[in-house]
Structure 1
């Protein structure tokens, strides 16, 4: 007999620790991002606003916890929104932790039924196409905005070792890696490090985030989570914790004692999962990010681990990945208030889909170039106005 229970508030959430850990032990492929500790710290570093709440959807078989799905409820304008509880990036895989010996389709339905009455919108990043939760989400709610993404993985299966993997890449790819490593080595001592002491881990996390912010500023881009303190606090605190289910892994490429590339990841029983990577643009000619990828991939193969580079397309992921999985990001309205809030995004998404299906690749590229040209022209004009203003001020 299955029993679905919604736990609300931090006190109720804390009662789940023992049962949650027992469930995690029963799942061979449990991700570190699906553990009690990951969710607990995600809420601990958050500064809750009025109305924010931690919610945990659970399903039990007798006294045994067989599924858990943690969320935070926040405000989005005049609507309330549910999103998975995590590190603050809102980019973790969004599927619930479920026991392997259950009817997962039924369990996913039970979990969603608990959550639907609790908010106007629900947002789930990165649910695998065809997975039980993706099927359940497709049938839930009033309006769905769905975005497809590919997740890139370097799989260990089928290769005797790292050298066998490398032989599968093109000769040009391997030659460039060797050439770039020699170029970097000509500038000083190059080393690969996996620090675990608290001070070094925190310093590396801050370096990675600072480089990300610098890159966003340079390219006039924005990131909601990078502007907040939550992710920085989260990774700084969890970077030195080592649990039975996994830990955060910090990898860095050093040039004469200076960081030139660094990767913040999670390490669990079956995989390394990449979270955030940055590199020093001063050494971009040597592609330090690609060199670090080579080191991390070798490290994974030596420990019989897959290297999950996660969704969102990046050139380095496409080059290194030997396997992909199709993922969907879901934004679903659960009430008419949520529908009103989601409608503008839904219409924009529908328009983009229509243009994608009717315009040729060349036409879409032409539109993209035009938009980029207008954006650069505006930035140049803004800069000219600023310089003119500065000259006028100087004369005064």
Structure 2
């Protein structure tokens, strides 16, 4: 790489951001970009999540001899006296990583983008969720002096394109919940009227109702297992999901697959388009029908659709049983980190941690207070849950 041929800019206004479309989309295609790296998904995350929450845009772009070669959209926001930096996204379980082609100097480009983000975005604390292990951004982050916390998660990809037909793939899987693919759907069909289908992206009203229903039942489930991610209660996130299923009509970034029983919605699953890797975005099912495993039926129809499109499927981070099943155990790992970008950020983190510990200690002294559990402190959960049923 000749540095003199590489120009780095940071875009901070919406008009310049949207003007990237004609360059961003071809780069995404050439780079085999992932769902979270799509131009339209990033735009919708800005319009429906970041902008309404008054976050500031910092989109790092790099051009080689005038041609776009890297895009990394970031945002900042203030909390109390500190400024936080994180990737532009839906605030759920989005990966972290700049969009670029696989090239010999990729690590050098990412390092330059990382240094620019640290120096120019004026953040005190940096959040880097779900970095794929051993990617350039992960290697850079783990070298930081002040890593405040780091969490490792399993992630899973089903290599569907290795199989010539659906029957060959499903034959290789064995059984889930003692049932082979197709058996759960056939069993439920014997109990009443069963409909399993993909919703029309032009059905904006129906899709909005399905998303509202799915998030409501996931909140019900989250209350039972004490997994209450903030995204689950966010109207911004709900608006974002609806937009990804309807924006562009037939060219919408993702599709929703639903299961209806006796004309009642009982399960839904969102699967993105792929390039060639699709993403299983989120799913949910009605707990009253859990004995019939409707969530698994929804996943199966979504995965079959992805297979027919010629995609592989990324099931995102998590340890659910179905991910191991559909991927035939093809597991890798992600890391999520919080990094202090300066001394002020480090002091702020330590002060907040001390205050949190004091509050927890006081609560522990109250009469009748429950013993703390490993799960009680968890504030986030994967959008794909619950699906293990």
- What is the TM-score with the length of structure 2 in the denominator? 0.82
User: Among 21, 25, 42, which residue is 1:21 paired with?
Assistant: 25
Shift of the alpha carbon at 1:280?
0.9
In structure 1, how many angstroms separate the alpha carbons of the residues matched to 2:141 and 2:155?
A: 19
> Partner residue of 2:299?
293
* 3-state SS in 1 of match to 2:233: coil
> Partner residue of 2:260?
254
> Partner residue of 1:42?
45
* 3-state SS in 2 of match to 1:38: helix
> Partner residue of 1:361?
none
User: Among 47, 52, 57, which residue is 1:54 paired with?
Assistant: 57
Shift of the alpha carbon at 1:345?
8.5
> Partner residue of 2:193?
189
In structure 2, how many angstroms separate the alpha carbons of the residues matched to 1:158 and 1:47?
A: 38
> Partner residue of 2:80?
77
Where in structure 2 are the equivalents of 1:125-204 lying within 5 Å?
A: 125-140=129-144, 142-170=146-174, 175=179, 180-196=184-200, 197-204=203-210
In the alignment, structure 1 residue 331 sits paired with structure 2 residue 331:
no
Q: Is the 8 A contact 2:156 2:327 kept in 1?
A: yes
> Partner residue of 1:116?
118
User: Among 85, 88, 108, which residue is 2:91 paired with?
Assistant: 88
Q: Aligned residues, how many?
A: 353
In structure 2, how many angstroms separate the alpha carbons of the residues matched to 1:265 and 1:211?
A: 19
In structure 1, how many angstroms separate the alpha carbons of the residues matched to 2:274 and 2:249?
A: 9
In structure 1, how many angstroms separate the alpha carbons of the residues matched to 2:37 and 2:153?
A: 20
- 1:184-238 deviations in Å (ceiling 9; x for gaps): 2232122221112222222221121111122223444422112221111112223
- 1:64-97 deviations in Å (ceiling 9; x for gaps): 11001001101233211111112232x1111110
In structure 1, how many angstroms separate the alpha carbons of the residues matched to 2:175 and 2:240?
A: 41
Shift of the alpha carbon at 1:144?
4.3
Shift of the alpha carbon at 1:32?
3.1
Shift of the alpha carbon at 1:13?
2.2
User: Among 71, 74, 78, which residue is 1:68 paired with?
Assistant: 71
Where in structure 2 are the equivalents of 1:360-371 lying within 5 Å?
A: 371=372
- 1:231-260 deviations in Å (ceiling 9; x for gaps): 111122231124898611111112122211
> Partner residue of 1:389?
none
In structure 2, how many angstroms separate the alpha carbons of the residues matched to 1:339 and 1:192?
A: 51
Cα RMSD for the two superposed structures: 2.9
Task: Could you tell me which runs of 5 or more consecutive residues in structure 1 were left unpaired when the two chains were aligned.
Answer: 348-368, 376-396
Identify, as 1 or 2, the structure richer in helix. Answer: 1
* 3-state SS in 1 of match to 2:96: coil
Shift of the alpha carbon at 1:44?
1.4
Q: Is the 8 A contact 2:270 2:302 kept in 1?
A: no
**C-alpha distance 226-173 of structure 1, shift in aligned 2 (>3 A):** closer
**C-alpha distance 270-80 of structure 1, shift in aligned 2 (>3 A):** same
In structure 2, how many angstroms separate the alpha carbons of the residues matched to 1:170 and 1:36?
A: 38
Moved more, 11-20 or 32-41: 11-20
- What is the TM-score with the length of structure 1 in the denominator? 0.80
In structure 2, how many angstroms separate the alpha carbons of the residues matched to 1:139 and 1:372?
A: 32
**C-alpha distance 114-239 of structure 1, shift in aligned 2 (>3 A):** same
Task: Could you tell me which runs of 5 or more consecutive residues in structure 2 were left unpaired when the two chains were aligned.
Answer: 355-369, 377-389
Q: Is the 8 A contact 1:149 1:311 kept in 2?
A: yes
User: Among 264, 274, 280, which residue is 2:280 paired with?
Assistant: 274
Q: Is the 8 A contact 1:5 1:114 kept in 2?
A: no
**C-alpha distance 203-51 of structure 1, shift in aligned 2 (>3 A):** closer
> Partner residue of 2:228?
222
- 1:5-36 deviations in Å (ceiling 9; x for gaps): 11123233233232222322322x21232122
**C-alpha distance 51-285 of structure 1, shift in aligned 2 (>3 A):** closer
Shift of the alpha carbon at 1:370?
6.9
Shift of the alpha carbon at 1:47?
6.6
Q: Is the 8 A contact 2:84 2:127 kept in 1?
A: yes
User: Among 329, 333, 347, which residue is 1:340 paired with?
Assistant: 347
User: Among 98, 109, 112, which residue is 2:100 paired with?
Assistant: 98
